[in-house]
């Protein structure tokens, strides 16, 4: 009976560690999905001359999943008439769309892009897209480095915490 309880504690702790490690591994993938959305949005805006809310809806529909839903929510927020564009984007949460894999600060390149596109003319659209793309690529690199270290650490921590608890119980 003691052995069965000890094995259950060890497995539970290990699974918690592996779940946290999976969160570290999912973050670079989610950021890559945002980068893909940015590249497709650039194509819609620059080559098809689609207005921003319509381009966000088109790309969101094409991508689907959490990213597509977030872009459609962003398009809906952009379409609403308001005096302050900054207040519109506060209601659209990236953390809620990704179930906590990404945080709202990860949406900052998109927010800056939408702010700068709103005042840019058609001839100068490429620069804000390049800046947002560079920011996202840097975030992907940082997330990948963090995932390489953090995922392994949490796997070991989960298993070692389980072993420690089992040793305390025996």
pLDDT, tens only, 146-170: 999 888 999 999 999 999 999 998 8
pLDDT, tens only, 9-54: 999 999 999 999 998 999 899 899 999 999 998 888 888 877 888 8
Euclidean distance between CA atoms 130 and 162, whole angstroms? 47
pTM, to two decimals: 0.80
What is the chain's mean pLDDT, rounded? Answer: 84
Task: State the pLDDT at residue 122.
Answer: 66
Task: State the pLDDT at residue 108.
Answer: 84
Q: Within 13 Å and on the Cβ side, how many CA atoms surround 15?
A: 6
Euclidean distance between CA atoms 157 and 162, whole angstroms? 8
Give the angle 28-31-45 at the CA atoms, nearest 5°. Answer: 155
Task: State the pLDDT at residue 91.
Answer: 61
Does the pLDDT value for residue 112 go beyond 90? no
Task: State the pLDDT at residue 162.
Answer: 92
- Range of the structural domain that residue 53 is part of: 2-169
Burial 82-101 (b: 16+ CB within 10 A, else e): eeeeeebbeebebeebbeeb
Residue 118: exposure state from Cβ atoms within 10 A (0-12, 13-18, ≥19):
exposed
> Which region among 75-89, 117-131, 147-161 has the lowest average model confidence (pLDDT)?
75-89
Greater confidence (114 vs 15) lies with 15
Query: For the chain, how many structural domains are there in total?
Result: 1
């Amino acid at each position: 009976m003691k052995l069965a309880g000890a094995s259950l504690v060890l497995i539970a702790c290990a699974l918690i560690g592996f779940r946290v490690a999976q969160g570290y591994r999912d973050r670079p993938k989610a950021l890559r999905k945002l980068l893909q959305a940015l590249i497709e949005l650039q194509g819609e805006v620059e080559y098809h001359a689609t207005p921003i809310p319509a381009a966000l809806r088109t790309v969101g529909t094409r991508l689907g999943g959490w990213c597509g839903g977030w872009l459609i929510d962003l398009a809906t927020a952009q379409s609403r008439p308001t005096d302050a564009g900054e207040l519109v984007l506060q209601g659209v949460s990236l953390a809620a769309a990704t179930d906590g894999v990404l945080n709202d600060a990860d949406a900052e390149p998109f927010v800056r892009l939408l702010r700068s596109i709103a005042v840019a003319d058609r001839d100068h659209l490429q620069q804000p897209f390049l800046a947002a793309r560079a920011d996202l690529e840097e975030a992907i690199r940082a997330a990948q480095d963090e995932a390489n270290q953090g995922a392994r650490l949490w796997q070991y921590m989960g298993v070692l915490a389980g072993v420690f608890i089992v040793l305390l119980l025996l």
